[in-house]
Amino acid sequence: MKEVLECLFKNKRGLSPVISSLLLAAAVIAIGLSVVVWSNSAFSARQSGASAFLSSRSESLKESFVIEDVWFYQGSPRYVDVTVRNVGTIDLEVVAIYMNGTTVWEGSQVIDVGETATIKVTFAWQSGEYRIVVATARGNQVREWHSTSG
């Protein structure tokens, strides 16, 4: 250290270039780090967004189901059995059933690939036709008209 100080005091000409070099290097490092951090963050955000989008779309595409059967039961109270078959390649979760635009069932019914599930919907149905919509957690829907006369 002593030698360095002696060098600085003896040779006054080299001081400014050194300081300027140090300042320049520091500036470059700071700016570079900022840019790298920013770019990584941007790439990561893009990947995350794209991943979520593609994953969501893929799962949605893999999901396929049909309303296999709807049966209107008389009695008190009246109810409807809605049988859903999973014909897709991924398990699905039925979250809501609507009849003529009214939410008649909300819940969670997971159906494995190739399997069926019958959901009992307590609903005071009247004779006629009903537009039945089955919705899944992934946002897919199947809509069908069914008559109470079978």
Site for another protein contains 149 (CB under 8 A) = yes
CB of 83 vs another protein, minimal distance in Å: 7
Rounded to 5°, angle at Cα 121 from 120 and 124: 135
Q: Are 147 and 129 in contact (CB under 8 A)?
A: yes
39's enclosing H/E stretch is helix 15-62
- The span from the CA of 92 to the CA of 81, in Å, is 19
Site for another protein contains 119 (CB under 8 A) = no
Site for another protein contains 68 (CB under 8 A) = yes
Site for another protein contains 52 (CB under 8 A) = no
Q: Are 59 and 93 in contact (CB under 8 A)?
A: no
Site for another protein contains 143 (CB under 8 A) = no
Neighbours of 139 (CB within 10 A): 10
Residue number with CB closer to another protein (53 or 103): 53
Side chain identity at 68, as an amino acid letter? E
Site for another protein contains 50 (CB under 8 A) = yes
Site for another protein contains 101 (CB under 8 A) = no
CB of 99 vs another protein, minimal distance in Å: 18
Up-side HSE of residue 85: CA atoms within 13 Å toward CB? 7
Site for another protein contains 28 (CB under 8 A) = yes
Residue number with CB closer to another protein (3 or 102): 3
Site for another protein contains 138 (CB under 8 A) = no
| Stretch binding another protein (CB under 8 A), from 82-90, 93-101, 104-112, 133-141 | 82-90
- The span from the CA of 100 to the CA of 133, in Å, is 8
Task: Please count the residues of this chain forming the interface with another protein, following the rule CB under 8 A.
Answer: 44
